[in-house]
Structure 1
Amino acid sequence: MENMLNEIEKGLEAGLYHLALGMTLCIPDICAALQSNNGETKKNKYVNWYDQYVGDKVRMSANDCYYFRCAFLHQGRTEHKDSQYRKIIFIEPTSTLTLHNNVLNDVLNIDIQIFCRVIIDAARNWYEEQKDTKNYKSNFEHSFKRHPEGMAPYIVGVPVYG
């Protein structure tokens, strides 16, 4: 889990905002699945996780985040017919101006770096609560992650993601 969060942070530091945002939007799904009885997630689990761990730290509601995630990851869009906003736009950070949590007409604008860091912090808090639970341990064993020494008996001696 920490490796994935660190990679998102490195993406932010490198200005790879598209990649960082995509993985950030997956965090509530991944965490919800890791804490579930069956290791799977659905919209209601995503929304519940977001409400509990992100809450009102950003103006985007849990439902709007879920709808944006669907539009962004599956259609490459910034709008979803069920969102309360016509569109959600993310602003790259600048050294002179921060535009965050503003509604401009019916468009929500969010600072991409602030948003990603809020979700990352929420995931770290969630991890501290969940890391010793039965569901987390069982589901993490089967989750996609980095294996620094490979995955015997398939590949050994080099890092593998799987």
Structure 2
Amino acid sequence: MPSVLENKIKNFTNAVEKSIEDKNWYSALALALALPDICGNLQDPKRSSSDKYIGFFNDFIKQKYTRLIGDPKEPQEFLNGRDMYALRCSFLHAGEVEISKQRIKNVLDGYIFLKPNNIIYAHMNKVNDTLQLQIDVFCKHIIQAVNEWLISYKNIKEIEERAELMIDIMGSTDNISF
């Protein structure tokens, strides 16, 4: 039987998946960008938001955005935690994808998001200091990272207790007690 934490996190990841399915790109991106914050807060609510976010990125997303390039093969980082956190701040607080004015940004100045297309797969292309991402792939990578995080942290008592405080959206016929 799934734990409270698993159920609560699945509510969020299912909502991102439904937004992708419905091609509701803004919703998918907003909620996907919030997920590392949610996991980080469950894991350690006392750390700063940026530290939690960057830590989550380094532990669960970084490998998806690092490729071996050239001869000899050298690791090339297309996205790092500071730039993803800058995107999160810029998009969630201002609806923007330019991050050049974000203090925490590291390498990138902005992002271009593309809708999926049956002809061209366009993901993780860097032009100057702008990173091009296919929105469905990016959101699915975050969901995969959250699922990996869940496997790592699902049996920790303190995290399960904090999960109890997460939002439930009730139906009008649910048994509600105050």
Class of the TM-score when normalised by the shorter of the 2 chains = 0.7 to 0.9
CA RMSD of aligned residues (A): 1.8
Q: Which whole-Å deviations, capped at 9, do the CAs of 1:54-101 have from their partners, x for residues lacking one?
A: 113023211111000000000111112243222111111000001111
Query: Residue 62 of structure 2: which of 50, 55, 62 is its match?
Result: 55
| SS of equivalent to 2:126 | strand
Alignment of 1:123 onto 2:130: no
| SS of equivalent to 1:23 | helix
Query: Residue 72 of structure 1: which of 68, 91, 100 is its match?
Result: 91
- Matched-pair contact (CA < 8 Å) for 1:36–1:135: no
Instruction: Quote the residue 1:98 is aligned against.
Output: 121
Q: Which whole-Å deviations, capped at 9, do the CAs of 1:79-126 have from their partners, x for residues lacking one?
A: 122432221111110000011111112211011111111110110111
Query: Residue 43 of structure 2: which of 13, 17, 35 is its match?
Result: 35
Query: Residue 137 of structure 1: which of 153, 156, 160 is its match?
Result: 160
Q: d(CA) in 1 for partners of 2:176 and 2:38?
A: 25
Q: d(CA) in 1 for partners of 2:140 and 2:152?
A: 19
What is the total number of aligned residue pairs between the two structures? 153
TM-score (norm 1): 0.87
Matched residue type, 1:71 = S
Matched residue type, 2:91 = F
Matched residue type, 2:30 = G
| SS of equivalent to 1:89 | strand
Residue identity over aligned pairs, in percent, reads: 29
Gaps of 5+ in 1: 155-162
Gaps of 5+ in 2: 1-8, 66-77
- Matched-pair contact (CA < 8 Å) for 2:62–2:79: no
Query: Residue 44 of structure 1: which of 39, 51, 59 is its match?
Result: 51
Q: d(CA) in 2 for partners of 1:114 and 1:103?
A: 16
Larger RCO: 1 or 2 (CA < 8 Å, sep 6+): 2
